[in-house]
């Protein structure tokens, strides 16, 4: 699976990129029909501590799944977005079985 990671308004370090790659690749265990994924990391220019956004789009044959989460850290935002995508994948697999 191809994983594209884009960072807006900052440069993502290797540690963050490898963390995201590991998390996204774990979704292929759940569903092997994932073609690629696009991860967009955004840093908002606000005073609140929850100014980090992770948007993840999974390209699946015939469909796309998307999750966007905003948290205090990129790792936390990625974790919550991956969890949301995991739930979407389970529902998608159930729909395929019917």
Nearest of 68, 64, 14, 22 to residue 42 by alpha carbon: 68
**DSSP bridge pairs for 59:** 36, 64
Q: What is the pLDDT of residue 5?
A: 95
Both ends of the chain: CA-CA distance in Å?
26
Number of Cβ within a 10 Å radius of residue 3:
16
pLDDT in tens for each of the 98 residues of the chain?
A: 899 999 998 889 999 999 999 999 999 998 888 999 999 999 988 888 889 999 999 999 888 999 999 999 999 999 999 999 999 999 998 988 87
Q: Which CATH class is domain 2-97?
A: alpha beta
For position 62, what pLDDT does the model report?
A: 80
Q: Where are the domains of the chain?
A: 2-97
pTM, two decimals, is 0.91
Residue 31 CA to residue 65 CA, distance in Å, equals 12
d(CA 89, CA 61): 12
């Amino acid at each position: 699976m191809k994983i594209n990671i884009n960072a807006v308004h900052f440069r993502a370090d290797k540690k963050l990129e490898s963390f995201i790659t590991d998390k996204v690749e774990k979704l292929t265990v759940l569903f092997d029909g994932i073609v690629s994924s696009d991860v967009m990391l955004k840093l908002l220019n606000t005073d609140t501590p929850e100014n980090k956004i992770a948007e993840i789009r999974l390209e699946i044959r015939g469909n796309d799944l998307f999750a966007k989460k905003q948290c205090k850290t990129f790792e936390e935002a990625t974790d919550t977005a991956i969890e949301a995508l995991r739930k979407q994948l389970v529902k998608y697999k159930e729909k395929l079985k019917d």
